[in-house]
Amino acid sequence: MKKILFILVLCVSFLGYSQNNDLFKKATDAYNNGKYDAAIKDYLQIIDNGKHSAELYYNLGNSYYKLNKVAPSIYYYEKALLLKPNDSEIKNNLAYAKNMTLDVINPLPVTTLKSIYNKVVGHFNFDQWAYLSVVLIILFVISYIAFKFFNYSTKKRISFVASITFLLLSITAITAAYLNYSDFKKNRPAIVFNEESLVLEEPNTRSKEVFRLHEGTKVFVLDELKQYYKIKLADGKTGWISSEEIKEIK
């Protein structure tokens, strides 16, 4: 019985994989032929099937960009960038899409230490840091075993230094993975989808308007109350916005 269930699971997984591949090819062909709405429909179907990848989000961003739909193009570029934080094509296209937004927001300056931290820890996402740490631990074990088995002093010295180096690097990678994951869980980026949104001083309709935002602007969710989100901009401004007017990236 267990074997039958296992075979059924394998068959379903294979069929799902095959279906998603066919849809991806169909969507890509539609995109290449200028049928962007059709491409979007098929790409979204793949997501509904449970498939997620940087390439999929990137292609969706491109499709929306071709239709001059600012908010969804930025939204999917941002999602792609979460999975591939160093992809230059995603960064470039995201920059092009951001040029279509109306709001000009000047980020607060960051300290040199914070800038270095962001570059180092943000160089990979937490999954990539975790994979790297596993590889480094394996290399550490191999080097340590070599150190134990080598008889010549030169080889023992080299393998010992290598094992210590890999151990330190693996600890660094594990630490970076933890910090990256902590930042990932703590930050709640979102994109404004309304053409124009009112940001209020308090989470109610009678509250005073603080400022306005337009589609495509990136915000960070700090808190939520009923149908409102408290948001923060890169320049430090805060306020409350209707939860229906923004879409969280994660």
Give residue for tokens 């962001």. 118
Residues of the chain with pLDDT under 70: 1-18
Q: Which of 14, 234, 222 is nearest to 243 (CA)?
A: 222
pLDDT tens figures, 42-96: 999 999 999 999 999 999 999 999 999 999 999 999 999 999 998 999 999 999 9
Strand, helix or coil for residue 93: helix
Domain with residues 189-248, CATH architecture: Roll (2.30)
User: According to the model, what pLDDT value does residue 130 have?
Assistant: 95
pTM of the model: 0.82
Angle between the N-to-C axes of helices 54-66 and 88-98, in degrees from 0 to 180, rounded to the nearest 10: 30
User: According to the model, what pLDDT value does residue 3 have?
Assistant: 47
Superfamily of domain 2-98 in the CATH hierarchy: Tetratricopeptide repeat domain (1.25.40.10)
DSSP 100: T
